[in-house]
Amino acid sequence: MNTSSGDRAFVGPIPQVYEQYLVPLIFEPYARDLADRVASLAPTAVLEIAAGTGVVTRQLAVKLPAAASVVSTDLNQAMLDHALTVGTKRAVTWKQADAMNLPFPDGAFDVVVCQFGVMFFPDKAKAFAEANRVLRPGGAFLFNVWDRIEESEFADCINQAMARQFPNNPSQFMVRVPHGYYDRAAIVQALLEAGFADPILFETVAMQSRGESPRSVAIAFCQGTPLRNELEGRGATILDKATDVAAAAIQKRFGDGQVSGKIQAHVVCATKKA
């Protein structure tokens, strides 16, 4: 599965909408889970890749001791800039970096962590090999990926609404990218080929996603992800119309006021050979 540059462009107003709407909706629960897993390994040096606006970074800054260094990176400088405006409880290092070409020496970190980012890497094998390279022997690569879209109810509902809205040219972003890399066998094989030790640990974790309203959910997905780029490319008024359609679909399925839906992801842990 390849991604286009538009699929990876978190620019313009996307970072702010992403942080305001999408982070509390789907990312915060898994960020706490992932940071707890990192903390349980008692690392002294952690690298985060595809950090986005820093939801995991903020958790790491709270849950790791001050002596543990945290370096958070993302390909999109606009996302890092927004992360800086939100800030962290203690000092961390922010750096623009490509996960497929990390600017760090071999064996520099105890843990490499990535939340819902590997799906966006154009060359996953290269990114996995880079994570392996910068880890110390015995170090851990921890990441999560969304399960198939049918297991995440809000995303599935909005994807179906977009398919009805554009029957002759349906949007494929949600299925192609965020929910496009969930096959356990494929993930395990790619990590083994990158040099990680067997076995690869794989855990499926279901949670509840809670939105303030159907419209807040629609804004999160339609305007706070690169789906926005695709919609805006269809016409000047399409983004607002698509958001309205998505909000109506969420309301019809989940009701008015605060809404709740299932989300599901896989958490993967790969260990560098000693």
pLDDT at 6: 54
Q: Cβ neighbours of residue 232 under 8 Å, at least 6 residues apart?
A: 238, 239
Say if CB 267 and CB 144 are below 8 A apart.
yes
How far apart, in whole angstroms, are the C-alpha atoms of residue 161 and residue 151? 16
How far apart, in whole angstroms, are the C-alpha atoms of residue 119 and residue 146? 9
pLDDT tens for each residue of the chain, 274 residues long? 455 545 556 878 999 999 999 999 999 999 999 999 999 999 999 999 999 999 999 999 999 999 999 999 999 999 999 999 999 999 999 999 999 999 999 999 999 999 999 999 999 999 999 999 999 999 999 999 999 999 999 999 999 999 999 999 998 899 999 999 999 999 999 999 999 999 999 999 999 999 999 999 999 999 999 999 999 999 989 999 999 999 999 999 999 999 999 999 999 999 999 9
Tokens of 190: 């790619």
Q: Distances from the Cα of 274 to the Cαs of 107, 196, 206, in angstroms?
A: 11, 10, 32
Tokens of 151: 């297991």
For residue 269, which phi and psi values (nearest 5 degrees)?
-130, 120
Buried b / exposed e across 49-75, counting CB within 10 Å, b at 16+? bbbbbbbbbbbbbeebeeebbbbbbbb
For residue 112, which phi and psi values (nearest 5 degrees)?
-115, 130
What is the helix, strand, coil percentage profile of the chain, to 5? 45, 20, 30
Q: Could you tell me which of 207, 204, 189 has the C-alpha nearest to residue 270? A: 189
pLDDT at 1: 47
Say if CB 44 and CB 54 are below 8 A apart.
no
How far apart, in whole angstroms, are the C-alpha atoms of residue 143 and residue 268? 5
How far apart, in whole angstroms, are the C-alpha atoms of residue 43 and residue 41? 6
Say if CB 267 and CB 207 are below 8 A apart.
no
**256: number of CA atoms within 13 Å, CB side?**
0
Domains belonging to the chain, first-starting first, are 6-271 (3.40.50.150)
Tokens of 134: 């910068």
pLDDT at 9: 67
